[in-house]
A and B are shown apart, each in its own frame.
Chain A
Amino acid sequence: MTGKRSRFLLTMLCFGMAFLYIPIILMMIYSFNYSKLVPVWGGFSTRWYTTLFQSEEVWAATSLSLKIAVMNATFAVMLGTLAGLALARIHRFRGRTLFTGMISAPLVMPEVITGLSLLLLFITLNQMIGWPASRGITTITIAHITFSMAYVAIIIQSRLAGTGQDLEEAALDLGAKPFRVLWDITLPQLAPGMVAGWLLSFTLSLDDLVIASFVTGPGATTLPMLIYSRIRLGLRPDINALATIIILVVTIGVLLAGWIMLRQQKQLANRQ
């Protein structure tokens, strides 16, 4: 590659990065702004963080969001792991291709449509069997599980597809019954993928505004919903502070997930 061309590419990369990250960095800086008017710099201060922690509304939304995120991540990992295992390990069952396609559909489906269809589902269910009686934390969690599970299934499936069945067959050969093999051999191999899937599901849930807005009910306000409703009344510095904290948490989650997946890839490469 010539020097000129690589310099060009580097410039483009910088532009792209700037476009992505300057707004976020600006927001983070302004969260430490003393002034009540967002665009006016009034000196460094952490007063908006203090305000934030004193607001009961914020605490309620945070705890709701965290509860949903944890439950979502846990169930998504359990269901997604099973789905991924079935996709990668069961030989040519009927409709396998269809199933593989369907599991990845939630990843590309517009959120508005996912949200709307889930809302319709909950309303219909309510009319038919009286459950869920009201919409709120349960419905949001279920909605989040549906798409988080797809991510987990894909992580698990790709991990298994790369390994072949030698280890499982070796264990069978040594006298382990199939369930034992799953427990002793398959799951330990999948552990890093499951942790990564958990972290990813957690952050996805913490992030989500659209689907949660569709399926929520009275009284259940998640953190993103709270931010969105406050922003509509005008830019406020305490929201900048809140967003900064969320970004921090999400970044840590994604980095951790990425690091775990990278490490497992290296282990895989070492084995060959």
Chain B
Amino acid sequence: MTQDSPYPWREEGATPFIKIEGLSKRFGSFTAVDDVSLDIFKGELFGLLGGSGCGKTTLLRMLAGFETPTSGSIFIDGADMTHVPPYERPVNMMFQSYALFPHMSVEKNIAYGLKRDGVNRSEISDRVAEMLKMVELSEFGRRKPSQLSGGQRQRVALARALVKRPKVLLLDEPLAALDKRLREQTQFELMNIQDQLGVTFVVVTHDQEEAMTLSTRIAVMDAGRFIQIGEPAEIYENPASSFIANFIGSANLLPAKILERHGGVAVLEHSGSKRQFKVATDSTQVGDTPTLAIRPEKILIDKAPLNQCDNQLQGTVREVAYLGKISTYRVETDIGEIIEVTAPNQVRPTGVGHKIDWDDSVHLGWNADSAVLLAE
């Protein structure tokens, strides 16, 4: 069955687990979610990524049942959930604020959902203990949420949402309140849990790095619509627009015009300087005016000429940002554009004259297949 494939979305005709069809939500005259359709498959860890106010939370709240869609429908595991109230959905949500019940102990918080389902007492205590163990809070069961640290509260919230073994777990910026180290640790924990339990996760985030680390697939949202859906690498390497290229990572964007095309390689002309570059492409026509996008880490930088590269530029370093494992250089080039380049710091920059520094003149180079063309 297609369900067993680790990449069901790559398969034609696979049955989606969550099916969102033409879903819209309007608040008065304002459209927060605008006619989105999406298939999410069983066991996915699906990332919803987008800037502030683009409608991520609203979409999630519609999945949880807190918000009634203005139009469209939601199916989960084949059942129409569009008008089912939240307490009857096989869906649990972990709130951005954690929303732990302050007057109940950690144990009671986790047990609450099971009690409402009428699970018998001994099973409740077993499952609560099991959950506490999983989030490594076994000694904290008797405490009140106010007696826990931020990271511990967050783990309680996760345990509470998972204990009912929902078909779908919704997470709204689950890690936003944590520091970087704890966040990375929790990201891995989340991925482990998802692996163990096989629950389908939908995770909202506006941190693109987090989305890339966690997700099997990402949907990028803007102004209530999906502008690209795909696997992290696909979105990073083949962004659909310059907005996405800059939103996910950063990119050097050069306006250009296609002059000629031989097979998979086109020759184009930079609009400003009329300098010609080669780029791998299979869809553009001669005469098109796309944007050439090159990721900073795909450009080589050296003091010596880089003759092995398909495309070369010369320039002067205007800024250097030393970030430890990599450095970022902003180079003023001979085509009149500032190009950003990142390079790993493989050698400790001790010897004077060895490392690249402010005002050094440098050569930049990249190959035809390192850059992509964006239609807009």
Contacts and interface: CB of A to CB of B under 8 A. Distances in A.
A243 to B, nearest CB: 40
Given A166-B95, A166-B97, A173 B102 contact: no
B146 A176 contact: no
A185 interface: yes
Contacts of A189: 102-103
Interface in A139-195: 164, 166-167, 169-177, 180, 184-185, 188-189
Interface residues of A, number: 20
Contacts of A176: 87, 112, 116
Interface string B82-104: 00011110011101010111110
Contact of A173 (B93, B101, B103, B117): B93
Nearest to B163: A174
A173 B146 contact: no
Given A175-B116, A270-B146, A170 B164 contact: no
Contact of A271 (B65, B87, B112, B146): B146
B99 A175 contact: no
B116 A180 contact: yes
B141 interface: no
Contacts of B92: 173-174
**Interface class of chain A by DSSP:** helix
Contacts of A180: 116
A185 B146 contact: no
Contacts of A164: 97
Contact of B102 (A172, A175, A267): A267
Given A170-B95, A170-B99, A175 B113 contact: yes
B81 interface: no
Contacts of B93: 169-170, 173
B64 interface: yes
Given A174-B92, A174-B112, A169 B99 contact: yes
A172 B116 CA distance: 10
A97 B42 CA distance: 46
B155 interface: no
Nearest to A167: B99
Nearest to A270: B146
Interface residues of B, number: 26
B146 A174 contact: no
A98 B161 CA distance: 40
Nearest to A170: B99
B188 interface: no
B97 A185 contact: no
A189 B93 CA distance: 21
Nearest to A175: B116
B102 A271 contact: yes
Contacts of A172: 65-66, 85-87
Interface in B44-98: 64-66, 85-88, 91-93, 95, 97
B205 to A, nearest CB: 19
Given A169-B86, A270-B146, A174 B116 contact: yes
A175 B88 CA distance: 6
A69 B112 CA distance: 38
A171 B64 contact: no
Contacts of B164: 174-175
B160 interface: yes
B103 A175 contact: no
List the 7 closest pairs (A to B, CB-CB), nearest first: A174-B113, A170-B99, A166-B99, A175-B116, A172-B86, A188-B103, A175-B87
Interface of B: 64-66, 85-88, 91-93, 95, 97, 99-103, 112-113, 116-117, 145-146, 160-161, 164
15 contacts: A166-B95, A167-B102, A169-B99, A170-B93, A170-B99, A170-B100, A172-B66, A173-B65, A175-B87, A175-B88, A176-B112, A185-B101, A189-B102, A189-B103, A267-B102
Given A166-B95, A173-B66, 5 more contacts: A166-B97, A167-B101, A176-B116, A267-B102, A267-B146
